[in-house]
């Protein structure tokens, strides 16, 4: 039974991401490291950032980020450093350059379009009410017919 | 034997579904009453056949029949019974069978309870619903057959992914599917109305309960999934903006929009073509969700079956149904004449704004979800769209929605003045500002997230209360309070749904703004302090469960010398799949959760431990539950039943054509 536990302890990968030995002594630097970790994607995982992932490569990246921070890099410099090596795939926040403008502009542009269309529709509906006295000719005729029955 | 019967029933169900698609549709076109009438027994039969197939598969899982490929791949004889049953839908084939079961169940329910529907509309609705059944039954039989046998059955199965062996997740898929598929009813009604070329108040009244039911199920399903992620994944995240989560969130947003625009159709006979379009879109996004989950084109933490053939099949279903319906819409939408006339400031306008915000925000989620695919295909860029994008691009819509909701909800129909509801809402606004300011003053950091979230949440909850109280009319307070109990259930439903959303807002912002985290190595016997709590790692021992081995810690949480709670976080290893899972120990509280995780043994004999203090965590799911409850209360409003009865009597008065 004991041996069984040992075997499982060996095959088991770590169950949580950031390990105690990674944590930096300086709380301000550590906080920046955590923020940056949430901005970087674990390249072998499915949509997890390196802060959440317990894959080995995520750990390596976390250590790399901390190393750069300790050496005095700014947050941007750290991100650039990682992007240079792994490509923009690692950025959780897509850049605003090139075709990504479409991505970022979709929300505001669509909202503007929808508001204009909605506004025009509302104006049509509210103006439709001003002229008519309530019933169209057909409706009036039908009403008369019903009343005269 | 049972398996073969199930397989056979499934094939028969496909034949019945084809019959039910064609005959009533022709009958409705030609006005042949008995051709239309066959839809009802056919719908019942179709449901019973699929239920039989589902029963057969469940039987195979429960009895651990490893001659079935699917059971071998997803079950194990030692697995607890609950997970043997939930294993039926914990995989691609079984879950799609559950999906079809629900399609046919909804179809059958429309047949059983749709007595008041005009016979022509009813025949068409059932035919369209059955067409969806045809598509998915064919999908199962041709690409994802759950009843395939193995030539050489193994002695035992390969077990279900241990992450899925959890009560929260056992019931998460059925609720989600009830929601997704519930929207198929709204779709069927929309297409039937387009064929008919006629949408009126009665149509709105028929569609609304189905949409409401679908929305309630989606709310519960999404809430369960998020709650599961919170306690199971071991670091207390509750929403990841993962493609699969987005797949369920988009239909939820559309369903919420549809729910509100159907009110306008029902009460004011306006927004007809828009409502039809929303109904098509809502189900279309359910299908897109299915496509995203099943095809594996977008990698995600929980995509289950990456199979291009299946992906193509679903894409085809999506193209036929959504494309067909949209074409029909383009051809017929003009014939849906709008009747209602209303001013720029009115309940109608407020609901238009609600629809714009919900629909556009849903499309933002959609574009963000598929953007990595588009960028790679057209711009040759491999990139990621992660949570920070969605938080930046989606949240503003929800902030605006929260700001205008209490006001819009109180505007009268047709023509309104803003001054009156603003005056009535003044106390709610004052309270919300006070809460926001208090929170701002009390918090240690200078983050705006917490105060803004609390302000918006309070504003929504207080606004919903003012709205309800306002419905009691004028007079002395006592008389008005007495009148509260006699208000229609729909008013109470509105209070709960709107207030619940406010509570969820407070939960999300509180959790995100003030969560405290601590990671350290603790020796057995060590005491450490996190956010005012003294936590002692008293013991770590090893044990075994039915199909796993566990490392369990015994941790004492004290505050000011008094015991708060004793928690037992676990780390489990499931030998069959050689996979570790964390079982965080959580002390749920009204204001905060204490969330403990035990990690790996360290070289120096200590243990890695992670401690979180998560303020307002439970508010997120409490809000979801309250929203869902609001939907159920609305659903029970007697006006639906009265209306159903009234429609029945007039329908009988019309001579059969």
Do A114 and B600 make contact, defined as CB atoms within 8 angstroms?
A: no
Residue B373: its pLDDT value, please? 85
Local structure of residue B322 (DSSP, 8 states): I
Cα separation values, B395 from B103, B208, B402, B509, Å: 33, 27, 11, 11
Query: Is B363's pLDDT higher than 90?
Result: yes
pLDDT, tens digit, for every residue of B575-633? 877 777 888 899 998 999 999 998 888 888 888 899 999 999 999 999 999 999 999 99
pLDDT of residue B582: 82
Collapsing DSSP states into helix, strand and coil, what is residue B270?
coil
Report chain A residues whose CB lies below 8 A from the CB of B303. 46
Residue A6 forms contact with B (CB below 8 Å): no
The answer to whether residues B624 and B224 touch, using CB atoms and an 8 Å cutoff, is no
Q: Say whether pLDDT at A5 is over 50.
A: no
Residues of chain B neighbouring A125 (CB-CB closer than 8 A): 270, 338, 340-342, 348
Is residue B522 classed as helix, strand or coil in its secondary structure? strand
Q: Given an 8 Å threshold on Cβ–Cβ distance, is A118 in contact with B352?
A: yes
Closest CA relative to residue B297, chosen from B221, B403, B371: B371
Exposed/middle/buried for residue B628 (C-beta within 10 Å: 0-12, 13-18, 19+): buried
CA distance A124 to chain B (A): 9
- State which residue of chain A sits closest to B601, comparing Cα positions: A9
What residue ranges in B377-460 does DSSP mark as E strands?
A: none
Residues in A closer than 8 angstroms to B368, CB to CB, are 103
Mutate to test the interface with B, among A103, A110, A115, A136 (most CBs of B within 10 A): A103
pLDDT at residue B187 tops 80 = yes
* pLDDT tens per residue, range B494-515: 999 999 999 999 999 999 889 8
Nearest to A46 among B301, B338, B389 (CB): B301
Nearest to B573 among A8, A20, A126 (CB): A8
Give which of B133, B228, B127, B122 is closest to B171, Cα–Cα: B228
Confidence of residue B136 (pLDDT cuts 50, 70, 90): very high
Residue B650 has pLDDT above 60, yes or no: no
Mean pLDDT, rounded, for B189-196: 92
Is a pLDDT exceeding 50 seen at residue A51?
A: yes
Evaluate whether B565 touches B557 at the Cβ level (below 8 Å): yes
B71 forms beta bridges with none
Chain A residues within an 8 Å CB radius of B541? none
| Confidence band for A10, pLDDT divided at 50, 70 and 90 | very low
For an interface test with A, the pick among B352, B353, B515 (most A C-beta atoms closer than 10 Å) comes out as B352
Query: Cβ–Cβ of A93/B361 closer than 8 Å?
Result: no
| Nearest CB to A11 within list B342, B578, B581 | B578
Which among A94, A107, A114 has the least Cβ separation from residue B385? A94
Q: Rounded to a whole number, what is the distance in Å from the CA of B33 to chain A's nearest CA?
A: 30
Average pLDDT for B232-248: 84
Furthest-apart CA atoms within chain A: distance in Å: 98
The mean of the pLDDT values for chain B is 87
**Most A CBs within 10 Å, among B272, B360, B544, to test the A interface:** B360
The Cα B653–Cα B103 span in angstroms is 32
pLDDT of residue A112: 95
Q: What is the pLDDT of residue B301?
A: 46
- Residue A31, chain B, CB below 8 Å: the answer is no
Distance from chain centroid for Cα B151: 39
Q: What's the rounded Cα separation, in Å, for the pair B610 and B616?
A: 19
B146 contact partners, CB below 8 Å, separation of at least 6? B57, B68, B70, B93, B94, B97, B140
Pairwise pLDDT comparison (A140 vs B540), residue with the higher score? B540
Low-confidence winner among B8-17, B126-135, B224-233 (lowest mean pLDDT) = B224-233
Query: What pLDDT sits at residue B256?
Result: 95
A133–chain B Cβ distance below 8 A for any pair: no
**B140-170: pLDDT as tens digits:** 999 888 898 888 888 888 777 777 777 877 8
Contacts of B386 in chain A (CB under 8 A): 41, 47, 49, 91-93
Cα(A65)–Cα(B282) distance, rounded to whole angstroms? 43
- Among B35-39, B292-296, B457-461, name the most confident range: B457-461
Q: Do B367 and A98 touch (CB under 8 A)?
A: no
| Confidence at residue B91, expressed as pLDDT on a 0 to 100 scale | 83
Map tokens 């159709």 to a residue.
B265
B123 pLDDT above the threshold of 80: yes
DSSP label of B602: P
Sheet containing B585-587: order of strands: B516-522, B607-615, B592-601, B585-587
pLDDT of residue B643: 47
The ipTM value here is: 0.84
B383:A94 CB<8 A: yes
B540-565 average pLDDT score: 89
Tens of pLDDT, residues A115-139: 999 888 888 887 776 554 556 667 7
Q: Are B464 and B425 in contact (CB under 8 A)?
A: no
Q: What pLDDT score was predicted for residue B573?
A: 85
Q: Which helix (H) or strand (E) holds B253?
A: helix B243-268
B269 has pLDDT over 90: no
Lowest mean pLDDT among B230-234, B359-363, B622-626: B230-234
- The region of weakest confidence among A5-9, B72-76, B428-432, B529-533 is A5-9
Rounded Cα gap, residues B257 and B95, in angstroms: 27
Going by pLDDT thresholds of 50, 70 and 90, the confidence category of residue B458 is very high
Q: How confident is the model over B330-341, as a mean pLDDT?
A: 76
Q: Would you say residue A44 has pLDDT above 80?
A: no
Q: Is the pLDDT of residue B657 over 60?
A: no
The helix (H) or strand (E) run that includes residue B480 is helix B477-484
Model confidence pLDDT, tens digit, residues B337-357: 667 778 888 888 899 999 999
Distance between CA atoms of residues B56 and B156, nearest Å: 20
Spatial separation of the C-alpha atoms in residues B483 and B193, rounded to whole Å? 39
Please name the residues in contact with B295: beta carbons below 8 A apart, sequence gap of 6 or more: B306, B307, B308, B310, B311, B312, B314, B315
pLDDT for residue B420? 87
The whole model's pTM is what? 0.89
Is the pLDDT assigned to residue B646 strictly greater than 80?
Answer: no
Measure A24 CA to nearest chain B CA, in Å: 11
Question: What's the pLDDT at B651?
Answer: 40
The pLDDT score that the predictor gives to residue B31 is 87
The gap between the terminal CA atoms of chain B, to the nearest Å, is 48
**Average pLDDT of the residues of chain A:** 80
Least confident of B19-33, B187-201, B331-345, B435-449: B331-345
Residues B244, B293: contact at Cβ < 8 Å?
Answer: yes
Report CB contact under 8 Å: A20, B608. yes
HEC sequence for chain A: CHHHHHHHHHHCCCCCCCCHHHCCCCHHHHHHHHHHHHHEECCCCCCCECCCCCCHHHHHHHHHHHHHHHCCCCHHHHHHHHHHHHCHHHECCCCCCCCHHHHHHHHHHHHHHHHHHHHHHHHHHHHHHHHCCCCCHHHHHHHHHHHHC
Reduced to 3 states (helix: H, G, I; strand: E, B; else coil), residue B466 is helix
In angstroms, the CA B464 to CA B492 distance is 10
- Report how far residue B253's alpha carbon sits from residue A81's, in angstroms, rounded to the nearest whole number: 39
- From CA B85, how far away is CA B54, in angstroms rounded? 11
Q: Is A18 on the interface with B (CB under 8 A)?
A: yes
Task: Tell me the C-alpha distance between B202 and B209, whole Å.
Answer: 12
Which residues of chain A does B300 touch, with a Cβ-Cβ cutoff of 8 Å? 46-47
The distance of B384 to chain A (nearest Cα, Å) reads 5
The domain segmentation of chain B, as residue ranges, is 1-165, 179-333+350-374, 516-618
């Amino acid at each position: 039974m004991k041996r069984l536990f040992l075997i499982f302890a060996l095959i088991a990968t770590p169950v949580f991401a950031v390990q105690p030995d990674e944590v930096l002594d300086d709380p301000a630097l550590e906080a920046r490291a955590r923020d940056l970790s949430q901005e970087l994607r674990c390249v072998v995982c499915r949509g997890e950032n390196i802060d959440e992932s317990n894959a080995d490569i995520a750990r390596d990246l976390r250590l790399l980020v901390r190393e750069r921070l300790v050496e005095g890099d700014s947050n941007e410099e750290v991100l650039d450093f990682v992007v240079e090596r792994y490509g923009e795939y690692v950025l959780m926040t897509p850049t605003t350059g090139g075709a990504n403008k479409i991505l970022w502009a979709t929300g505001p542009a669509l909202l503007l379009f929808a508001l204009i269309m909605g506004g025009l529709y509302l104006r049509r509906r509210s103006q439709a009410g001003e002229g008519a006295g309530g019933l169209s000719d057909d409706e009036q005729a039908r009403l008369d017919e019903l009343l005269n029955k | 034997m049972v398996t073969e019967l199930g397989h056979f029933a499934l094939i028969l169900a496909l034949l019945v579904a084809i019959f039910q698609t064609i005959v009533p549709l022709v009958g409705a076109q030609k006005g042949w009453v008995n051709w239309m009438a066959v839809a009802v027994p056919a719908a019942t039969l179709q449901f019973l056949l699929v239920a039989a197939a589902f029963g057969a598969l469940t039987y195979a899982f429960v009895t651990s029949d490893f001659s079935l490929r699917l059971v071998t791949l997803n079950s194990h004889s030692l697995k607890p019974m609950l997970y043997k049953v939930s294993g039926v839908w914990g995989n691609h084939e079984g879950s799609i069978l559950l999906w079809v079961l629900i399609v046919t169940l909804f179809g059958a329910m429309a047949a059983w309870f749709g007595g008041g529907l005009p016979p022509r509309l009813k025949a068409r609705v059932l035919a369209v619903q059955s067409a969806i059944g045809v598509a998915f039954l064919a999908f199962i039989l041709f690409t994802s057959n759950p009843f395939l046998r193995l030539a050489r059955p193994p002695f035992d199965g390969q077990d279900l992914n241990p992450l899925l062996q959890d009560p929260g997740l056992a019931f998460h898929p059925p609720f989600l599917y009830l929601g997704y598929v519930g929207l198929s009813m709204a779709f069927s009604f929309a297409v039937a109305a387009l064929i008919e070329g006629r949408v009126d108040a009665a149509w709105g009244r028929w569609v609304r309960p189905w949409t409401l039911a679908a929305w309630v199920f989606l709310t519960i399903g999404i809430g369960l999934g998020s709650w599961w992620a919170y306690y199971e994944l071991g670091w207390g995240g509750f929403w990841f903006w993962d493609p699969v989560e987005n797949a369920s969130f988009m239909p939820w947003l559309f369903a919420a929009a549809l729910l509100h625009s159907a009110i306008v159709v029902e009460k004011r006979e306006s927004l007809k073509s828009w409502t039809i379009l929303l109904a098509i879109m809502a189900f279309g996004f359910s299908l897109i969700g299915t496509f995203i989950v099943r095809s594996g084109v977008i990698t995600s933490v929980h995509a289950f079956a990456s199979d291009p053939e299946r992906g193509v099949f679903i894409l085809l279903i999506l193209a036929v149904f959504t494309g067909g319906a949209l074409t029909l819409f383009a051809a017929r939408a003009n014939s849906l004449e709008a009747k209602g006339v209303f001013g720029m400031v009115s309940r109608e306008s407020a609901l238009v704004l609600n629809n714009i915000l919900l629909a556009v925000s849903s499309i933002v989620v959609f574009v963000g979800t598929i953007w990595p695919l588009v960028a790679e295909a057209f711009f040759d860029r491999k990139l990621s769209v992660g949570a920070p994008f969605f938080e930046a691009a989606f949240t503003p819509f929800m902030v605006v929605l929260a700001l205008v909701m209490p006001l819009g909800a109180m505007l009268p129909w047709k023509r309104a003045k803003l001054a009156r509801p603003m005056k009535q809402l003044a106390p709610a606004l004052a309270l919300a500002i006070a809460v926001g300011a208090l929170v701002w003053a009390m918090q240690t950091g200078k983050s705006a997230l917490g105060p803004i979230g609390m302000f918006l949440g309070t504003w929504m909850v207080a606004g919903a209360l003012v709205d309800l109280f306002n419905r009691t009319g004028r007079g002395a307070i006592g008389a008005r309070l007495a009148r509260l109990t006699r208000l229609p259930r729909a008013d109470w439903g509105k209070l709960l749904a709107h207030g619940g959303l406010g509570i969820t807002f407070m939960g999300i912002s509180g959790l995100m703004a003030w969560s405290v985290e601590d990671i350290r190595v603790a020796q057995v016997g060590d005491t450490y302090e996190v956010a005012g709590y003294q936590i002692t790692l008293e013991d770590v021992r090893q044990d075994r469960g039915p199909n796993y081995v566990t490392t369990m810690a015994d941790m004492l949480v004290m505050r000011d010398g008094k015991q708060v709670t004793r928690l037992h976080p676990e780390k489990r290893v499931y030998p069959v799949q050689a996979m570790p899972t964390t079982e965080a120990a959580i002390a749920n509280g009204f204001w905060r959760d204490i969330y403990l995780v035990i990690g790996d043994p360290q070289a120096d004999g200590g243990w890695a431990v992670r401690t979180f203090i998560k303020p307002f965590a439970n508010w997120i799911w409490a809000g979801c539950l309250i929203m869902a409850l609001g939907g159920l209360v609305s659903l029970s409003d007697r006006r639906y039943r009265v209306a159903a009865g009234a429609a029945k009597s007039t329908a009988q008065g019309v001579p059969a054509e």
